[in-house]
Structure 1
């Protein structure tokens, strides 16, 4: 008789355990992918298509036309992640940052953007104007266009040359504040041909400015 009660007790406990297990599964087991983390310091990882791009999006006036007619096959084979339009967007962004940093004499801002020998050239120009007591202003009014002129592989290093066309105001003043070059109200067109490089074996996605020249 007692054995019968013990058997019923076991069945009853099993039913309760099963019910509790079902309730836990209904709360924790049915994940839809939309649950928020309960850790206030842990931010959810966005889906791949929602991740922010490594470079700014391509502006409306810097589309596929900026890279048409240039053979970039070698670079694409060496770096499967290379996208010409996205590269152009990043190059435009880098151009604006470098121009602004050079005008301000901000070498710390230049360091992660340019190669050591280019930085050395910028350093000399900044040091020379500082020693002369000159103040240089370069206000970039508009970056009209950026076009890839060529792309080559040198070993495992990819090099892409970009032609920038911009409008800006450049003024140099002496220690007394008198204008010795340029005009504070004159907007002039500027053409720069810059070459960017990146080691395709590196995990670092950033490109460095390795050469500059004035375009015609």
Structure 2
């Protein structure tokens, strides 16, 4: 092999590595596509709901419980493993509500996470009122009011949800609660009334870990789960 060919090969390899490096970094920061919105409560757009399969006929001979466990197992197979206590709680919910599907719930919760964050960032109280229970809504509304009073606005962006896993689940007195741990990348910027950036950057996303608890009455005809508690992971 001539020296000229060796030199050309080295140059080609160098350019290839540089191109791979650039494309790799770009892919790491691509924004996660925004998922479609769920049908709202009572036909109104905007409220998240956990889609579930049609209600099955109840027989009262034990086969319903077995079907609920099988349905739950099918939903969990493609998801990160949960603790045995969480799995028991999810099975209780599936037995109490035949429409419940664990995988579909996580899909809906991921959409709800994005919708609630974006509504809070925009200061959309009407949207938040549909998505949260009264206590959580009051907390969000107070924070929005304080932000408005300070003349500040948020220019935040949810880049991607890296992880969404169960941390708690169960039924008590006919009311189901499910806790989820979200690990997400968020680009956050706070601007003054003049539009000047006073905190954060859209160029560098930060990792955020939230634990959100959703709840609903298992015998309610309304399939919507409301956000009833927020905490940092």
TM-score normalised over the length of structure 2:
0.64
SS at match of 2:100: coil
1:80 alignment partner, one of 98, 102, 105: 98
Task: Give the unaligned 5+ runs of structure 1.
Answer: 1-52, 57-61
User: What does residue 125 of structure 2 align with?
Assistant: 107
**Aligned equivalents of 1:210 and 1:138: distance in 2?**
23
**Aligned equivalents of 2:139 and 2:118: distance in 1?**
16
User: 1:206 offset after TM fit, Å?
Assistant: 0.7
**Aligned equivalents of 1:63 and 1:179: distance in 2?**
45
User: What does residue 44 of structure 2 align with?
Assistant: none
Task: Give the unaligned 5+ runs of structure 2.
Answer: 1-48, 53-75
Q: Greater helix percent: which structure?
A: 2
The change in CA–CA distance for 1:114 and 1:184 in structure 2 (over 3 A counts) is same
Once the two structures are superposed, what CA deviation does each residue of 1:35-70 show, in whole Å capped at 9, x if it has no partner?
xxxxxxxxxxxxxxxxxx9639xxxxx973235433
Pairing 1:21-60 to 2, within 5 Å after superposition: 55=51
**Aligned equivalents of 1:78 and 1:184: distance in 2?**
44
Instruction: Check whether the contact 2:151–2:193 (CA below 8 A) recurs between aligned residues.
Output: yes
**Aligned equivalents of 2:106 and 2:91: distance in 1?**
16
**Aligned equivalents of 1:166 and 1:197: distance in 2?**
22
Structure index of larger Rg: 1
Instruction: Check whether the contact 1:161–1:195 (CA below 8 A) recurs between aligned residues.
Output: yes
The change in CA–CA distance for 1:63 and 1:122 in structure 2 (over 3 A counts) is farther
1:131 alignment partner, one of 149, 156, 162: 149
User: What does residue 9 of structure 1 align with?
Assistant: none
Over aligned residues, Cα RMSD in angstroms?
A: 1.9
Pairing 1:1-216 to 2, within 5 Å after superposition: 55=51, 64-66=78-80, 68-69=82-83, 70-71=86-87, 72-215=90-233
SS at match of 2:221: coil
SS at match of 1:205: coil
SS at match of 1:120: helix
- How many aligned residue pairs are there? 158
The change in CA–CA distance for 1:130 and 1:105 in structure 2 (over 3 A counts) is same
Instruction: Check whether the contact 1:67–1:85 (CA below 8 A) recurs between aligned residues.
Output: no
Specify which structure has the bigger relative contact order, considering alpha-carbon pairs within 8 angstroms and separated by 6 or more residues. Answer: 2
The change in CA–CA distance for 1:63 and 1:103 in structure 2 (over 3 A counts) is farther
